[in-house]
């Protein structure tokens, strides 16, 4: 969509991204080679135009959140939940363009 983005979590506890997340991203033509879970502690808000939280019931005391989308965390759920979440993220990103 033309955005430069990073993704991180407050408690990344795996050496690899979720298999269904990888499958969904690959189905959209997004290369997942080298993607690994990252902590928000490794990022600085000053390096970004906007910080968006997916919600997922977590708090991020290390940086100011510009928008919290309040999405449910798909981790551990079926592929369709990842797909629905991905489609909702895309829908909301398109709204940012208007």
10-37 pLDDT per residue, tens:
777 788 899 999 999 999 999 999 999 8
Residue 14 belongs to a domain = no
Residue 1 belongs to a domain = no
Find out whether 66 and 50 touch, Cβ atoms under 8 Å. Answer: yes
Neighbours of 27 (CB within 10 A): 11
Residue 13 belongs to a domain = no
Residue 49 belongs to a domain = yes
Show the tokens assigned to 84: 């629905």
What is the count of structural domains for the chain?
1
Find out whether 72 and 88 touch, Cβ atoms under 8 Å. Answer: no
Residue 4 belongs to a domain = no
Residue 12 belongs to a domain = no
Q: Which residues constitute the domain of residue 76?
A: 19-97
- Record the pTM: 0.81
CATH number at residue 90: 3.40.50.2300
Residue 87 belongs to a domain = yes
Show the tokens assigned to 82: 């990842």
The CA distance from 69 to 54, in Å, is: 5
The secondary structure of residue 39, as a DSSP letter, is B
pLDDT tens-place string over residues 53-73: 887 656 666 677 888 898 988
Residue 40 belongs to a domain = yes
The secondary structure of residue 87, as a DSSP letter, is H
């Amino acid at each position: 969509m033309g955005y430069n983005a990073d993704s991180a979590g407050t408690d990344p506890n795996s050496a690899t991204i979720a298999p269904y997340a990888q499958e969904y991203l690959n189905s959209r033509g997004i290369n997942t080679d080298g993607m690994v879970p990252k902590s928000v502690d490794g990022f600085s808000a000053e390096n970004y135009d906007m910080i968006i939280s997916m919600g997922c019931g977590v708090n991020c005391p290390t940086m100011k959140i510009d928008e919290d989308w309040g999405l449910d965390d798909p981790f551990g759920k079926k592929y369709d939940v990842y797909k629905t979440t991905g489609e909702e993220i895309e829908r909301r990103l398109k709204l940012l363009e208007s």
